[in-house]
Chain A
Amino acid sequence: MFDNLSEKLQRVFKNLRGEGKLTAANMEAALREIRMALLEADVNFKVVKQLIENIREKAMGEEVLTALSPSEQVVKIVHEEMIKILGSHESRLRFANDPPSVFLIVGLQGSGKTTSAGKLARWLSRNGHRPMLVSVDVYRPAAREQLKVIARESGQTIYEGAPGEKQPLELARAARMESVQTGRDVLLVDTAGRLHIDDDLMTELQQLKEQLNPVEILFVADAMTGQDAVKSAGEFHRRLGITGVILTKMDGDARGGAALSIRHVTGQPLKFVGVGEKPDALEPFHPDRAASRILGMGDILSLIEKAGQELDQKKAVEMQRKLIENDFTLEDFRDQMRQVRKLGSLGSLLDMMPKVGMLKDLKNVKVDEGEIGRVVAIIDSMTPRERDNHMIINGSRRRRIARGSGTTVQEVNQLLKQYATARKMMKSLSGGFLGRKMGKMKMPPGFPFGDMLGR
């Protein structure tokens, strides 16, 4: 649905090539595109207005005159201005000198407070803390039950309190005492969802704040929030003085422009983003990546990071050796597929790729999530000998493999063809390019990496 901003800008500046200079006139069209892109990403109107002013000012300055490509330069300015608002580095949680540190988790209904509380507890315990959860949501049906289940499933400690307790303040007080007695260093207080205009409930939060003296008041916001983000976040901040923001549901396709709006209106940093339904799906917030996402420029850094976390390093080294020695069998092919699978769905991987330049057709790619599964099934249905040497797979073997994997002979053929192509490609890479280039390189005596290059 959304066109990438840099593509749009490229179109705007197409006639400009060679001039290499931005004038007031041709900047107007570009600024209009930028404005649209930001609005469609749900950045608040007022924030957009100010951003545009800043961008205009900067772009008109001399910095742009030396630009190689005007569109690149403008995108860069937009990106920089956004990061200026979002904060230039990750923001850490604060802890009290005198434990327990109380974190109050607040927000509108359905923004994801309870789920985030559970994820945050998990994140804290993985990072050397001993958190305790408590739900003081006495209003929503089964809200306390929900946190209990989440705590149980993710192995976190929770203060349950009396089932019929109707007083949030009482629950919080008891939980705090319990956490002191059991030596917990963080108490996560999950509060009921409320509208920022609900005076009674906002007063209740103020009372909770007074009683608990929290070090962090985390405002949980849905990444899909529209223009209203400014109002609700602003009001929560005015009444409570929030200290940070958790942006949830970033695994969807919302651009998350609300991040800019909230940061702009509260001045408080975004600390975490929720990126999935699993208990571990909570990540520290990275301003630069968020800016790229709002602009639709992909999130290649997250992809690389993810690959680093999930891929088996040993296997990767082994694979490299096999490639160079041209020893790449169907079994390795299958391993590789499985590794890719670990990174998540193909669709979500594609979403992280920047869709510009060479890769710009990617956005039209329809991913068949079952494809990898079928490939693995086909290879699973081969005998070890067949996997070792694909040349022996004749017609009758192909029929057997197809039957065994629940696919068709055509699909088996296709896979074998893909494999053969991949092998050939690797051969030319390793035998040709890599092999020769590296062979010719003269390493100085004692060069520490000489051995690693396979000689």
Chain B
Amino acid sequence: MIQTLFGAAGPEPSLLEKLKSGVQKTRAGLVSALEDAIQGKKEIDADLLDELEFTLLSADIGVRTTNEILERIRQRVARHQLDDAAELRGLIRERLLEILQASERAPVRVEEPPAVVLVVGVNGSGKTTTIGKLAQRFRNEGRSTLLCAADTFRAAAIEQLEIWGERTGTPVIRQGPGSDPSAVLFDALQAARARRVDCVIVDTAGRLQTKENLMAELQKMSRTAAKAIPGAPHEVLLVLDATTGQNGLEQARKFTESSRVTGIVLAKLDGTAKGGIVVAIARELDLPIRYVGVGEKADDLLPFDAGKFIESLFEK
């Protein structure tokens, strides 16, 4: 069951199929590679563990999480609870699911619309595209939505959002380039109230997590939102590029510190065999993954569900 800002959503019949085709590469890079390593082996020896380590690390699962998984296997082997290599696949599957499930958390329920969704992330992670797809998704769910063009910094960011607005039939609130993002946000929230829309999605300028002044700007935007609408922003989504390596952790950490991230969107998952960073983030930062981006089309943003995700990876 997938939880949204407006309560539980009905099941999506084609979700598993879409996920499967979206994670094809990761399946090849992680699960098939695991199977290759295990295949034909009977005993669990140092060589096999080396192979496993290689596979997990090269899927960007990260040094720590990989070590933890291997340590578990070693312990079980030592205690003779595990001696058949064929069991390894199930064990790893189970552990990955546990990690992802442990960080699952439903978003706050918005009783009184508009719900405000702030979308943040580093440059080029895929924020604007994600917002376009999110608008499409909300529209399909029958929610009236407003887009707020608060990336006033990057050249042509506003135009890019407007094109997405046209494509998805969603109005966009904008001001000129270089204007104060908080002011645009305030405008958008006033408009949202007046027009009684269900949801406002706020595009922000990309920023590297090391730029403290820019991170402070996000805090200001959160405060502005809260002033205009109590409880806002209801959701702060951090968009991560799935090809990002271990720096993804640092991004999630710093953005969480400064702007209270409530969930992750993993963009560009279809292009990488290394979607393992989701596991590292779930484990080390305890942040839920909300959506995954698996293509360039407007409906290529899928809600994330740990069970389904793991199923799509491990089931043929």
Contact = CB atoms under 8 A, between A and B. Distances in A.
A143 B164 CA distance: 13
Given A149-B155, A227-B245, A369-B212, A252 B122 contact: yes
A186 B230 CA distance: 54
Interface residues of A, number: 55
A110 B272 contact: no
A42 B155 contact: no
A42 B59 CA distance: 11
Contact of A252 (B126, B167, B208, B277): B208
Given A39-B63, A195-B270, A369 B213 contact: yes
A111 B250 CA distance: 18
A347 B250 CA distance: 16
A252 B249 CA distance: 13
Interface string A107-146: 0111110110000000000000000000000011111011
Residue of A40, A111, A351 with most chain B CB atoms under a 10 A cut-off = A40
Interface in A177-223: 195-197, 222-223
B21 interface: no
Given A153-B155, A228-B274, A253-B210, A110 B244 contact: no
Contacts of B211: 251
A262 B58 CA distance: 15
Contacts of B153: 277
A226 B242 CA distance: 9
Nearest to A35: B63
A316 B159 CA distance: 47
A145 B154 CA distance: 11
B248 interface: yes
A348 B245 CA distance: 22
A372 to B, nearest CB: 13
Contacts of B246: 39-42, 226
B60 A249 contact: no
Contacts of B191: none
Contacts of A289: none
Contacts of A140: 160
A42 to B, nearest CB: 4
A249 B210 contact: no
B241 A1 contact: no
Interface string A78-122: 000000000000000000000000000000111110110000000
Contacts of B124: 109-112, 222, 249
Residue of B123, B124, B210, B274 with most chain A CB atoms under a 10 A cut-off = B124
A110 B247 contact: no
Given A40-B246, A146-B155, A227 B60 contact: yes
A99 to B, nearest CB: 28
Interface string A13-48: 000000000000000000000001001111011100
Interface string A144-167: 011111100100000000000000
B247 to A, nearest CB: 4
A111 B271 CA distance: 13
A73 interface: no
Contact of A110 (B59, B123, B248): B123
A255 B25 CA distance: 25
Nearest to B254: A253
Consensus secondary structure, chain A interface:
loop
Interface in A379-434: none
Contacts of A112: 123-124
Given A1-B250, A142-B159, A146-B155, A249 B243 contact: no
Nearest to A347: B212
B159 to A, nearest CB: 4
Interface string A268-295: 0000000001000000000000000000
A257 B247 CA distance: 10
A45 B57 contact: yes
B2 interface: no
A254 B58 contact: no
Given A40-B246, A146-B155, A110 B212 contact: no
A258 interface: yes
A227 B58 contact: yes
Contacts of A115: 123
Interface string B133-173: 00000000000000000000111110110111001000000
A196 B271 contact: yes
Contact of B250 (A45, A253, A277): A253
A41 B213 CA distance: 26
B298 to A, nearest CB: 11
A115 B251 CA distance: 21
Interface string B265-278: 00010111110010
B175 interface: no
Interface string A243-257: 000000101111101
Contact of B244 (A44, A150, A225, A369): A225
Interface in B228-261: 241, 243-251, 253
A226 B117 CA distance: 28
Interface of A: 1, 36, 39-42, 44-46, 108-112, 114-115, 139-143, 145-150, 153, 195-197, 222-229, 231-232, 249, 251-255, 257-258, 277, 345, 347-348, 351, 369
Given A110-B126, A139-B296, 20 more contacts: A1-B249, A41-B246, A45-B54, A110-B123, A110-B241, A143-B160, A195-B268, A196-B271, A222-B244, A224-B241, A226-B246, A227-B58, A232-B271, A251-B208, A251-B211, A252-B208, A252-B209, A252-B210, A255-B247, A257-B245
Interface of B: 25, 54, 57-60, 63, 122-126, 128, 132, 153-157, 159-160, 162-164, 167, 177, 208-213, 241, 243-251, 253, 268, 270-274, 277, 296
15 contacts: A41-B246, A42-B246, A42-B247, A45-B57, A110-B125, A141-B159, A143-B160, A149-B156, A195-B271, A226-B277, A227-B59, A228-B272, A229-B243, A249-B123, A253-B250
Pairs of residues from A and B, 3 with the lowest C-beta to C-beta distance, nearest first: A226-B245, A110-B124, A149-B155
